[in-house]
């Protein structure tokens, strides 16, 4: 009749080893496999949102924007010879557009909050457009 191996012999999570403190007796010492539990880490506010934004920024296609840039540059230049655009230039234009749109939405949220609302409405857009157009007229006049 064969003897069944014990859990320690099978390589379970608890190994028995002799330690000095136990006086020669075998003591249960947890193995490295059982100590590999992950501890929960504190995630700062906005980190998950920033990760999501970065993910979607990487996923945005630049081809439609490149087509628009080529169309506008072709209309401005007039002749049939097309400009060549580096990817860094297209990326810079895209970041500038995103920054401008982000600024507009910040102003829209401020206008809605000033009116005591959480929802953006068309009147917010009209108000922001009126205010910024007035600022542009002042800037053009040199004041």
pLDDT in tens, 125-142: 998 888 887 666 555 666
Residue in the structure block whose two tokens are 């982000």: 102
Rounded Cα gap, residues 59 and 104, in angstroms: 23
Q: How many helices (H) and strands (E) does the chain have?
A: 5, 2
Angle of helix 122-141 relative to helix 87-114, nearest 10 degrees, comes to: 110
Give the 3-state secondary structure of residue 17.
strand
Tell me which of 84 and 30 has the higher pLDDT: 84
**Residue 3 Cα distances to 9, 14, 40, angstroms:** 12, 20, 42
Average pLDDT over residues 76-89: 82
Give the 3-state secondary structure of residue 3.
coil
Give the 3-state secondary structure of residue 75.
helix
Closest CA to 62 of 83, 88, 84: 88
**Structure-token pair, residue 119:** 């929802």
pLDDT tens-digit series, residues 86-125:
989 988 998 898 888 888 889 999 999 998 998 889 998 9
Ordered by where they begin, the domains of the chain are 43-85 (no CATH), 94-143 (1.10.20.10)
Greatest alpha-carbon pair distance for the chain in Å reads 104
What is the pLDDT, as a whole number, of residue 48? Answer: 82
């Amino acid at each position: 009749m064969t003897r069944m191996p014990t859990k320690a012999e099978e390589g379970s999570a608890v190994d028995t080893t002799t330690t000095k403190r136990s006086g020669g007796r075998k003591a249960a010492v947890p193995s490295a496999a059982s100590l590999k539990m992950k501890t929960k880490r504190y995630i700062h506010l906005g980190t998950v949102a920033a990760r999501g934004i970065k993910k979607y920024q990487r996923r945005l296609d630049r081809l439609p924007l490149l087509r628009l840039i080529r169309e506008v540059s072709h209309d401005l230049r007039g002749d049939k010879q097309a400009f060549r655009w580096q990817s860094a230039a297209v990326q810079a234009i895209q970041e500038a557009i995103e920054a401008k749109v982000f600024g507009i939405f910040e102003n829209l949220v401020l206008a809605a909050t000033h009116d005591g609302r959480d929802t953006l409405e068309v009147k917010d857009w009209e108000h922001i457009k009126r205010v910024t157009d007035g600022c542009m007229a002042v800037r053009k006049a040199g004041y």
